[in-house]
Amino acid sequence: MRLLLALLLTAPLLSGCVGTHTTIALLVADANSATRTLDAEAFAARVEAACEDCEVEVHDAAGVEAEQQSQVRQAVTGEADLIVIEPVSPEDAEGYAVGETPVVSLVTLVPGSDRFVGLTEPVAAGEGAQTSDLEAARALVLGTSKEMVHVPSRAIAEQGADVALGLLADTPVADGEDHEGVQSWLYEAVTITLDNLTTELVGNGVITLEDLCAGETAKRCQALGFV
């Protein structure tokens, strides 16, 4: 098992949250993937801001299904209060033995989860292959690519944290909908071109115009009318 992060979170307690020490096991499919779609840091920060007695343990399966299955077993054996999983393989994850431990799936639905926060449609393999939205956006400006796929990873992570805490506190979270029999909060991946680049990414605070148009992209930004 590769332990990426274990944060003991210390922030004001969310009203209605659990009153004793609580462990959330966050299982990431592959933190180093070029198409990484889960922002584990944003998830942890959101929990930190809401629950002073919550500990988030983040584990990286590095894209190996057997590793993730082992991490699930460890979480259950360690009596984690909640498992939050971005599955390496949703079909395999459906069969993991979690006992009475509640499960929230992120990005991609694991059938049978208690809650789901993720994409309406999975991003196809190879779509939006980039290390960051900023890198891909700069490639658009330079003309070395024609489009990119933006996954709202921060929004998914933060909503996932709210849903996880709501489930632990038995407090309903608004605006959920039924998706394949699971209460869900759904987002769409957006195809980005030069035509909607500033509207979707800069306008929504995903990247800044300053970062987009720094260095080698500065002249192109001026030519495109971005600055």
Nearest to 39 by CA among 2, 11, 12, 4: 4
Longest dimension (CA), the chain: 59
Class of residue 203 by CB neighbours under 10 A (exposed 0-12, middle 13-18, buried 19+): exposed
> Would you state the pLDDT for residue 11?
32
- The residues, any chain, with a CB within 8 Å of residue 217's CB and separated by 6 or more, are 138, 141, 142
Q: Where are the chain's structural domains? A: 2-224
Query: What is the second-level CATH architecture of the domain 2-224?
Result: 3-Layer(aba) Sandwich (3.40)
- The residues, any chain, with a CB within 8 Å of residue 77's CB and separated by 6 or more, are none
Class of residue 20 by CB neighbours under 10 A (exposed 0-12, middle 13-18, buried 19+): exposed
* pLDDT string in tens for the chain (227-residue length): 333 333 333 333 343 454 578 999 999 999 887 666 789 999 999 998 999 889 999 999 999 999 999 999 999 999 999 999 999 999 999 999 999 999 999 999 999 999 999 999 877 655 544 568 899 999 999 999 999 989 899 999 999 999 999 999 999 899 999 999 999 999 999 999 999 999 999 998 999 999 999 999 999 999 999 98
> Would you state the pLDDT for residue 130?
52
String of DSSP letters for 108-130? S--TT-SEEEEESSPPPTTTT--
